[in-house]
Amino acid sequence: MRASVLVTRASFPDIVDRLRADFDVTDNPDDVIWTQPELIARLQGKVGAMTAGSDRIDATLLDACPQLKAVCNIGVGYNNVDVQACTARGVLVTNTPDVLTDTTADFGFALMMAAARRITESERFLRAGEWTKTGRYDMFVGGDVHGSTLGILGMGRIGQAIARRGAFGFGMRVIYHNRSRLAPDVEESCRARYVDKETLLRESDHLIIVVPYSASSHHAIGAAELKQMKSFATLTNIARGGVVDDAALAVALSEGSIAAAGLDVFEGEPVVSLALLAQKNVVLTPHIGSASVSTRRAMAALCADNLIAALGLGASAGKPPTPVNPQVLARPAATV
């Protein structure tokens, strides 16, 4: 009898078919976002799952699904998964880092530029038929990107890729703050200088948030931090909702404490606060930082590789490429 796995969100059909070669697969081609009870019901009898950020994997779910052995999450972030609870129950967790680094860095830079140069604000103006004569000298003037100071909070793979784009492509002065300072050769490769958080906030013309979400990074940017920024600065968040206090940001935008923002992630997404939606000087996108065809395919393929290997099949049986809690692998292997 073949083992059963669940694919919780719609994915590329050929990648789902790869799983069908080894498993009985229940998938979700209509891409319905299931409630927690619905997810638990569909996980009954399943030994593995390809999950997404909309799926909350917690102790309650794990206790209701005792056969589950592998949770393979699509995305770098996995704050939807209680890793500690999974580890305690011998459930392997994996994610999909690296394959989305450059695409997400491209998008973060594009979002920052759109905010700085007021792209969406001016497009709405044009589409509404308000461009009826030659523009004034100050019509939609924004901030320069080239030659300005780029600040990065969170200098992992994506942060470093953004730094290189800024330094080498736009001649930007790059400063960063991180939980730990990078090695000198990595700093040199990014032309980036380490500063404390207060200096980062004070000196950045364009601040991009790429720090992982955790309890310690919750509201890392709030009202106090926003008040330390330049009035003509922009803030871009491509990290996770909750790293930025959205309510405080809406106030800062409305009061002109900062000039503009670009947001791909939100607290409580897919719901976006009405206060943010009311602001003209913010670019809003629906968590699409990794959304290129090649990157999304690579993420799905890596997730499938992790699932196959985690369940003891394939050339990498027992050695999934990107485990989050590899200590589970030291325990007796669960084969199918």
Catalytic machinery residues: 240, 269, 287
Residue 281 neighbours by CB under 8 Å, 6+ apart: 115, 118, 121, 253, 259, 260, 261
Q: In what order do the strands lie in the sheet containing 282-284? A: 192-194, 173-177, 149-153, 206-209, 234-237, 260-263, 282-284
Q: How far apart, in whole angstroms, are the C-alpha atoms of residue 188 and residue 133?
A: 48
**Residue 17: what residue type?**
D
105 phi and psi, to 5 degrees?
Answer: -65, -40
Q: 28: which DSSP letter?
A: -
Length of the chain (residues): 336
Bond before 212 cis per omega within 30 degrees: no
Please report the DSSP string for 216-231 in residue order: GGTTSB-HHHHHTS-T
Is 261 in contact with 282 (CB distance < 8 Å)?
Answer: yes
Exposure on the CB side of residue 237, measured as CA atoms within 13 A: 26
